[in-house]
Amino acid sequence: MRILLLVAATAGLAFAAGPISASGSNFTLTGNGMSYLFHVDPSSLDLFSDHFGGPVDDFINPATIFQGGWSDGLTNDRREFPDIGRSDYRLPAIHISHADGNTVSAFAYQSYEILPGKPSLPGLPATYGNASDVSTLIIRLYDNYSDVSAALSYSVFPSYNAIARSFQITNNGSANITIERAASFSIDLPNLDLNMLELQGDWAHEMNRVIRPVQYGETSFRSTEGYSSHVHNPFFALMSPSTTESSGEAWGFNLVYTGSFAATTERFSHGFVRVLLGLNPLHASIPVGPGQTFTSPEAVAVYSSEGLGGMSRSFHDLYRNHLSRSNYTLQTRPVLLNSWEGLGFNINQSSLDQLAQETADLGIRLFVNDDGWFGQTPYARINDTAGLGDWTPNPDHFPNGLGPYVGDVDSLTVENSSQKLEFGIWVEPEMVNPNSTLYNEHPDWALHAGSHPRTLTRNQLVLNLGLPEVQDYLITAISNVINSADIRYIKWDNNRGMHELPNPAADYNYMLGMYRVMDNLTGSYPDILWEGCASGGGRFDPGILHYYPQSWTSDDTDAAERLTIQMGTSLAYPPSAMACHVSAVPNGITQRNTSIEYRAHVALMCGSFGFELNPVELTAEERAAIPGILADWERINPIVITGSFYRLALPDNSNWPAAQFVSANQTVAIVFAFQQRATVKPAPPPLKIAGLNATARYTSNLYNGSLSGSTLMNAGINLAWETADYQSMLIWLYRQ
Ligand SMILES: *[C@@H]1O[C@H](CO)[C@@H](O)[C@H](O)[C@H]1NC(C)=O
Ligand SMILES: *[C@@H]1O[C@H](CO)[C@@H](O)[C@H](O)[C@H]1NC(C)=O
Ligand SMILES: *[C@@H]1O[C@H](CO)[C@@H](O)[C@H](O)[C@H]1NC(C)=O
Ligand SMILES: *[C@@H]1O[C@H](CO)[C@@H](O)[C@H](O)[C@H]1NC(C)=O
Ligand SMILES: *[C@@H]1O[C@H](CO)[C@@H](O)[C@H](O)[C@H]1NC(C)=O
Ligand SMILES: *[C@@H]1O[C@H](CO)[C@@H](O)[C@H](O)[C@H]1NC(C)=O
Ligand SMILES: *[C@@H]1O[C@H](CO)[C@@H](O)[C@H](O)[C@H]1NC(C)=O
Ligand SMILES: *[C@@H]1O[C@H](CO)[C@@H](O)[C@H](O)[C@H]1NC(C)=O
Ligand SMILES: *[C@@H]1O[C@H](CO)[C@@H](O)[C@H](O)[C@H]1NC(C)=O
Ligand SMILES: *[C@@H]1O[C@H](CO)[C@@H](O)[C@H](O)[C@H]1NC(C)=O
Ligand SMILES: *[C@@H]1O[C@H](CO)[C@@H](O)[C@H](O)[C@H]1NC(C)=O
Ligand SMILES: *[C@@H]1O[C@H](CO)[C@@H](O)[C@H](O)[C@H]1NC(C)=O
């Protein structure tokens, strides 16, 4: 319920509601360790940024800038919601084409209101919370010359030092307008020395850190793939050059959106740094008719004075408690075995029954049937040239449908437990093969642009989820699969980017449609464990995390490479949301051999742990190790799901990477330590533990007696590594 606390124009009264206060037209948003200040400039009625950083109590004068000369007017101001065409030469947050062809906007402050809690965003994923978690400030602006109104929304989550922003543009005129650019988060920071950290990569190579200075001009990256993509993630951090993992200032920005995006900083001649995160202008040009409203996706920013680690833990806690809506977000996830790397397309009821039996015999609780189960002759999904779109079981493999087959799987008892095996299945609903009944019946449902050839990737096309009939088809088709059998888990894959779009706005409309489908299916089937996937980590973003509690992190399951990928992913996303599996060696992508313990220790750092191999190919030693790994999982998984995560050393710059969780109740810490290559010299540096109580004492599986938190954090511990590649250790610390 929305309670209107106050509507005020520019009257000079002061008002405070929890973490938001309005003094006249000075606005202050306060977190436990963060302040965000801006005000209305009385002469222009523009919004000017004052501060985003550590706690402050007062508004201070802006920097003195030489006025006059060529760069005059608004380009010298620090603006909150920059528009275009009136003396500001920098990139705008909002860029509108009007019916007469001009692109000038002049948004002027009108009023504000403060709401307890946070309204939902129509049709889009967003953070949420009640009045004790979050407060929202709405600022209303109006462009008198074009009859366009804007409502900016600022929601502050004080416990996480986080601000969530979005805006709406309403066309109050009688002609059409077009949104050419929309940056959900925009702020002008002072002339600070800053570095930008982002995550770049590709398929099987996701989430590699890149750090570059925020120089004069633009420092930017984007996705034009239609999706958030492997190549760049819609996340970046700004930090001072001296910021480390555990100290210094860091600002993290993340777009709650799965489509194309753009992230930009622009340093102008005065040194002020404009920050913009929102839609990619190449996939915008969104028409807004008279009386209609455009809603931007949401962007979240967090401030940390405790380095990148503090920033990450704020994101992790915010996302687990106030973004991801699933029943499973704060629950342990069953260990699973996925059929893909073991069987590929070589599936039929007997090969699957055998694999399910092997799964149960190993003590694994969930069996996942990957690709290859659907489609009918002539479009049977027996290879990747056919079948996507036809979501009915292949009668050659499942003559009696999925129900009886899943019944057989469910009848198996998991070794060393009283539980029955559970069943999960793979789907890729947003895609279609031209070799399918669906495509033959509805060729117009695939994304296409006029008569341009429809470019195939992996023999498939992308359905236009902006079309209501496509959304309805997918809701019905996937609901029918779920209703036909006892399905406990669904892996929702998506294996290519978008090519020919009918118009640039089709990407935004696709996302609204995709979110409608995901909202419907997760709402109808809340007890299914949903996992996002896009050729690995191609859509590891907060938009998907709103609906699905976990995402497949990368198709690269080489544990040595996974350390880099998982550490990168953890900058913004909680390890509890990562899906990570032990696969066979030599690894299918890198040909690297590592022990099953090393592979398991890397994968156990994730919320969803599993195996992706054919059990009959396990060696005797590997098979013998599995009960111990499952026992470790039993103790570790609850701590990964709700504990705090610390990166102790990165594989990019240490031969001895390590990471650590502290349990939510602070009594247990589990440290994952690795040695990548055998070395004679130098000695490994001491491993300094983080997040402990300095005055408490800790016992461990590593040493006799106890050590103080201070000792463990400041002197650290020395681990006795063998002279061998790819070693790993689990170190438990128990507070006395
Ligand atoms: C707003 O802040 C400015 C300083 O930037 C101060 O001069 C002014 O008095 C404040 N207005 C109110 C109503 O608090
Ligand atoms: C708000 O939500 C928190 C959990 O996030 C809960 O503990 C609290 O009782 C809720 N408060 C109200 C007023 O609903
Ligand atoms: C916009 O126009 C209205 C009347 O149409 C007027 O009251 C208001 O002052 C104008 N605002 C600005 C910023 O010019
Ligand atoms: C613009 O239109 C919206 C939606 O119809 C309406 O709520 C708002 O009051 C209008 N604003 C102005 C200034 O006319
Ligand atoms: C706005 O655009 C729509 C779709 O292109 C068109 O049908 C409509 O006539 C336009 N309206 C105006 C007022 O120009
Ligand atoms: C899952 O959440 C739904 C509401 O979204 C609730 O009705 C259902 O009982 C929950 N299931 C479990 C197992 O918690
Ligand atoms: C089932 O698949 C396995 C593995 O591909 C194969 O060996 C077997 O002949 C198949 N059985 C049937 C009945 O098709
Ligand atoms: C691939 O699948 C199609 C459609 O089921 C089938 O016609 C074709 O023979 C298959 N190709 C191979 C090499 O198996
Ligand atoms: C359709 O399937 C046939 C048989 O596998 C294959 O040769 C052809 O390339 C496929 N067509 C497309 C567009 O993938
Ligand atoms: C999902 O869509 C179907 C079909 O439109 C509808 O009947 C059902 O109520 C929807 N469920 C949810 C949870 O939105
Ligand atoms: C604290 O959490 C750990 C790890 O989940 C658990 O083993 C332990 O029982 C908990 N202690 C208390 C007092 O709840
Ligand atoms: C830290 O440990 C000491 C000694 O065990 C204890 O007195 C204190 O309450 C602990 N502090 C916190 C914040 O848990």
CA 637 to centroid of ligand 11, rounded, Å: 12
Question: Does residue 495 have a known ligand-binding role?
Answer: yes
Could you tell me if the CB of 76 is within 6 A of ligand 9?
Answer: no
- State which of 44, 46, 144, 172 you would mutate to test the pocket of ligand 3, scoring each by most atoms of that ligand within 8 A of its C-beta: 144
* Sequence-distant (≥ 6) Cβ neighbours of residue 734 within 8 angstroms: 667, 668, 698, 699, 700
CA 526 to centroid of ligand 6, rounded, Å: 6
Per DSSP, the residues of 392-435 read SB-TTT-TT-HHHHHHHHHTSBPTTSSPBPEEEEEE-TTEE-SS
Could you tell me if the CB of 292 is within 6 A of ligand 5?
Answer: no
Query: How high is the pLDDT of residue 11?
Result: 40
Cβ(610)–Cβ(424) below 8 Å = no
Q: Is the pLDDT of residue 17 over 70?
A: no
- Homologous superfamily assigned to 336-643: Aldolase class I (3.20.20.70)
Q: List pLDDT tens digits, range 133-178.
A: 999 999 999 999 999 999 999 999 999 999 999 999 999 999 999 9
CA pair distance 336, 622, nearest whole angstrom? 17
Could you tell me if the CB of 111 is within 6 A of ligand 4?
Answer: no
CA pair distance 676, 725, nearest whole angstrom? 6
Minimal CA–CA distance to 446: which of 402, 501, 513, 393? Answer: 501
Residue type at position 384? D
Tell me the catalytic residues.
493, 555
Residue range 661-735, CATH number? 2.60.40.1180
Question: Does residue 555 have a known ligand-binding role?
Answer: yes
For the four alpha carbons of 630, 580, 329 and 564, in that order, the dihedral sign comes to positive
Alpha-carbon distances of 117 from 4, 5, 257, 545, rounded to whole Å: 11, 12, 21, 21
Query: How high is the pLDDT of residue 475?
Result: 98
Q: List pLDDT tens digits, range 103-143.
A: 999 999 999 999 999 999 999 999 999 999 999 999 999 99
In 379-537 the beta strands, taken as DSSP E runs, fall at: 422-427, 431-432, 461-462, 489-492, 529-532
Q: Is 18 left (phi over 0), alpha (psi -120 to 50) or beta?
A: left
Question: Does residue 391 have a known ligand-binding role?
Answer: no
Structure token pair of residue 146: 């074009």
Backbone Cα Rg of the chain: 27
Ligand nearest to the CA of 524: 10
Q: List pLDDT tens digits, range 384-404.
A: 999 999 999 999 999 999 999
Minimal CA–CA distance to 38: which of 190, 29, 736? Answer: 29
Alpha-carbon distances of 247 from 305, 710, 736, rounded to whole Å: 7, 17, 28
Residue range 14-322, CATH number? 2.70.98.60
Residue minimizing CA distance to atom 5 of ligand 10: 472
Helical pair 402-410 and 468-484, crossing angle rounded to 10 deg: 50
For ligand 2, residues with CB inside 6 Å are: 130-133
Structure token pair of residue 596: 């099953």
CA pair distance 236, 301, nearest whole angstrom? 10
C-alpha 259, offset from chain centre: 12
For ligand 10, residues with CB inside 6 Å are: 475, 520, 523-524
Q: Name the percent of the chain lying above pLDDT 70.
A: 98
Domain boundaries, the chain: 14-322, 336-643, 661-735
Minimal CA–CA distance to 397: which of 428, 433, 430, 425? Answer: 425
In 224-285 the beta strands, taken as DSSP E runs, fall at: 232-239, 250-256, 261-267, 273-279
CA pair distance 521, 559, nearest whole angstrom? 33
| 514-523 average pLDDT score | 98
Query: How high is the pLDDT of residue 600?
Result: 98
Q: List pLDDT tens digits, range 275-332.
A: 999 999 999 999 999 999 999 999 999 999 999 999 999 999 999 999 999 999 999 9
Report residue 72's pLDDT band, with 50, 70 and 90 as the boundaries: confident
Could you tell me if the CB of 349 is within 6 A of ligand 7?
Answer: no
Q: Which atom of ligand 5 is nearest to the CA of 175?
A: 13
Q: Which atom of ligand 5 is nearest to the CA of 289?
A: 1
Minimal CA–CA distance to 562: which of 594, 603, 596, 611? Answer: 603
